[in-house]
Amino acid sequence: MGDAGAYKDLGDAELLRSLKDGSMEAFNALYQRYWQPAYNAAFKRLNDPAAAQDVTQDIFLQLWNRRADLHILHLPAYIHTSVRNRVLNLLESQQRFLPMEDLFAESASGGEGADALARRNQWLKSYHALVDALPPGRQEIFRMRYNDGASPDEIAALLNISRKTVQNQLGKALARLRANLGAMFWSVLP
C-alpha cells in the first residue's frame, strides 16, 4: 500500500480523524499497523491463508469505504470484532461452525468485564448440560455437526442413517437448545 510517511507515528485517534477526512496516507498507516494482526486472527480461526487474506482485505476495504460514517473508539477492538464477525459469516456461508468453547474464548478476549465473563460461563455451563441431556443418538449427531464440523451427508454416511434423519435430529436438538438458552443462541447457530 505504500509508505504512510509522517502518519505512521500518529496515534490511532489522529489517524482515524484523518481517515474520516479522506486521507489515504492515514489509511495506509492504519493498514500497515493492523493488517498483520488482523490477518493472524483470521488465519488462527480459518487455518486457510487465502480465506484469511480475503477476510483481512475486506475489513480494510470496508474501513476505507465507510470511513465517513464510522465512529470507532478503540481500533484494535473494532478490528478484532470485524475479524470475528467476518469469519463467522464465512463459516456460516460454508456451513462450517466453530465449537461453542472457541466462540466464547474469542469473545472473552474482547476485554469484557467480570460480570460478562460470569454470565458467559454460566451460559456455557447451561449449554453443556443441555447437550449432555440430549438422547444419546441426537447428542452424537449434534456433536458431529457442531463440534466436528461434519456435514449432514457425512453424518448420515458415518452413522448409516438417512440424511433426513440427521436433519430431523439436528432440528430437534436445536429447538431444545434455543428454547432453553434464549436469544443468545439465535446468534450462534442457525
10-residue mean pLDDT series, the chain (190 residues): 63 90 91 94 86 92 88 86 81 57 52 60 75 90 82 89 92 80 47
DSSP codes joined into one string, 95-152: T----HHHHHHHHHTT---HHHHHHHHHHHHHHHHHHHHS-HHHHHHHHHHHTS---H
Global pTM value: 0.50
pLDDT tens digit sequence for 40-81: 989 888 888 998 999 999 999 989 998 888 888 888 888 888
Query: For residue 143, what pLDDT is reported?
Result: 85
**CB contact at 8 A, 47 and 54:** no
Query: For residue 30, what pLDDT is reported?
Result: 92
Query: For residue 164, what pLDDT is reported?
Result: 93
Residues 143-167 as b or e (16 or more Cβ within 10 Å = b): bbbbeeebebeebbeebeeeeeebe
